[in-house]
Structure 1
Amino acid sequence: MSKIDFLKEQIIEARAFVNRLMSELPEDLWYVVPDGTDSNFIWQAGHLLVSQNFHTMTAVTGVNERVGRLMPIKEYNKIFNGMGTLHRSITKDLIPVTKLREQLDNVHQICIENLELMNDEALAEPLAPLPFKHPVAETKYEALSWSFKHEMWHSAEMEAIKRDLGYPIVWMK
């Protein structure tokens, strides 16, 4: 298996895990911040949208114009960016859950399409020019690898939010 195929597979598997979590919590609870926490499901999903866009596309192949045409990604970066964010929740009715889920799927599909255009040789290359230093990566491989690890990190947070809202952890289906 090539490195790019491995990375693509991991990104797809991480998203499948998150999709399962999202299907287990009713959408009317996505804006609820459980007691003792600082986040809600809607922010977590939005954060995964902007982070996948950043780690798998912006940092690897540059700004993806298609993403910008499909959603207000610059505004989403302000709302859902995790680096230095003082809040990790958003208020009800800011973005409908179904709309954000559709946009999350769109970014994921564009990410996979981009990966299918890459080869292993490109993975050793430095990142595309960014306005700030990438928090964990210097090469395209490192950014893509971080993307699925980061998604799994947030899936654990989503699982905790789901549990705190009265929906038990489901490991196998």
Structure 2
Amino acid sequence: MSRIELLTENFRSVRRYTNMVIDGISPDDWFRVPDACPTHIAWQIGHITIGNYGLALAIPRGDRPDDVELVPLSFREQFARGSTPDADPTAYPSIELITSTFNRVHDQILAELPTFTDELLDDSPPLEHPMFSTKFGSLLWSIQHGYTHAGQISLLYRLNGGTPRF
């Protein structure tokens, strides 16, 4: 199996897992912040989206002018690392826009992965990161990052009164 095939399989796997976690969660729970918890499900999904965009698209192939159509700048600011989740749903795009952006970025990753060469995968990223030293590592970290936040979504669901999903 090539590295691109491995990445593709794993991007699909983390998406299946995340979809299983969020499937059937009430829209009322997407912005609910449990006691003593600093985040909510909507922020987690938006953050996974921004992480996937940055780690799996922007770092490997660079930002492109038309990426603002893929992920609007305001969306990036709301969900970027270091942003502060707000329990007010009116401070965010709709759940539909959050999930459609989530899906659009995933689809773009799957569309572009086959164009990434071994040379590109072995290149150093344009910035230092404690979790990877190559663009291939950035792509792998994107998958791991997605699983981490899917786990947080599962915990948020439970803290909001949901029963175990699996």
- Distance between the aligned counterparts of 1:65 and 1:135, measured in 2? 28
1:15-39 deviations in whole A, cap 9, x for unaligned?
1111111113111210110112111
Of 146, 149, 157, the residue aligned with 1:151 is 146
Tell me the amino acid that sits aligned with residue 134 of structure 1. Answer: H
1:47-95 CA-partner distances (Å, limit 9, x unpaired): 01110000001110011444312441x222221112x34x234521221
- TM-superposed CA distance for 1:169, in Å, is 1.7
Query: Partner of 2:89 in structure 1?
Result: 92
Which residue is 1:75 aligned to? 74
Match of 1:103 among 98, 101, 105: 101
Q: Distance in 2 between matches of 1:140 and 1:124?
A: 6
Which residue is equivalent to 2:163? 168
Q: Is 1:41 aligned to 2:38, yes or no?
A: no
Map of 1:119 onto structure 2 = 117
Change beyond 3 A, Cα 1:81–1:113 = same
2:11 & 2:80 partners in 1: Cα distance?
19
- Distance verdict in 2 for CA 1:124–1:90, change over 3 Å: farther
CA contact (8 A) 1:52 1:147 kept: yes
**In the alignment, residue 162 of structure 1 is paired with which amino acid?**
Y
CA RMSD of aligned residues (A): 1.6
User: Is contact 1:24-1:167 (8 Å) kept?
Assistant: no
Structure 1 residues 11-20 or 41-50, which shifts more?
11-20
Amino-acid identity (%): 24
1:9 aligns with: 9
- Residue matched to 1:28: 28
- In structure 1, how many angstroms separate the alpha carbons of the residues matched to 2:49 and 2:29? 19
> CA 1:12 to 1:89, structure 2 compared with 1: closer, same or farther past 3 Å?
farther
Q: Distance in 1 between matches of 2:130 and 2:51?
A: 12
Q: TM-score, normalised by structure 2?
A: 0.91
Q: Which structure 2 residues correspond to residues 49-64 of structure 1 after superposition, within 5 A?
A: 49-64=49-64
Change (3 A) 1:135 1:41: same
- Segments of structure 2 that go 5 or more residues without pairing to the other structure are none
Aligned partners of 2:39 and 2:85 also within 8 Å: yes
- The 3-state SS of whatever aligns with 1:116 is helix
Distance 1:4 1:89, change over 3 A: farther
